[in-house]
Amino acid sequence: MPAPTDTHSDATAARFPAKARRLVCRIGASGLFLRAAAPWLPVCDLAAHRLTGGRWLPSQLVLPTVLLTTTGRHSGRPRAVPVCAHPLPGGGWLVAATNFGRPHHPAWSTNLLHHAHAHLTWNDRRHPVTARLLDPEEQQTVWPTLLALLPVYGDYAARAAHREIRVFRLDPGRRDGHVPEE
């Protein structure tokens, strides 16, 4: 995977200006959004992704969104889900398993705990990645970066206060070369 650089992070910030992020955060924190839209956004993203041959996720219009394909914990089958991801200078990505502040962890995060190898689709390219759950100290260090990307994460964390928000670092590559198929 081409390593995201500081320039890439700057380009991401330019592509998703503060005004647009504030609007997304205002809408994303509303109760109506959480009840009505949150369950359907990933479904719409996946449908559009399939219809366009993997070239487009509607969420990419307002957020830095990638398609993460994990291996199902029980089924062993590939499971694709759109997630908001923050590119790291020098390579890799940060993803937070907020699940819109719902009471349970998203399935993709549990899948990563059981099968750390996955792939990420970004800029029409699939990249093998290895996930690592950040420890609490690391999470405290990166949380301000994630809040700068999407301040609504603070609202989601408050709603999900009874559970720890899992934060993963997705690093490029994989030792054994296996990548789950979609």
CATH number at 130 reads 2.30.110.10
Looking at the domain assignment, is residue 1 inside a domain?
A: no
pLDDT at 103 over 80: yes
78 burial level (CB within 10 Å; 0-12, 13-18, 19+): middle
CA dist., res. 108 & res. 101, Å (int):
15
Number of domains in the chain: 1
Whether pTM > 0.85 for this model: the answer is no
Q: Compute φ and ψ for 58, nearest 5 degrees.
A: -55, -35
CA dist., res. 105 & res. 97, Å (int):
7
pLDDT at 182 over 60: no
Looking at the domain assignment, is residue 180 inside a domain?
A: no
pLDDT digits 0-9 by tens, 30-47: 665 666 666 777 787 878
Extract the tokens encoding 166: 């899992």
- Write down the pLDDT at residue 58: 75
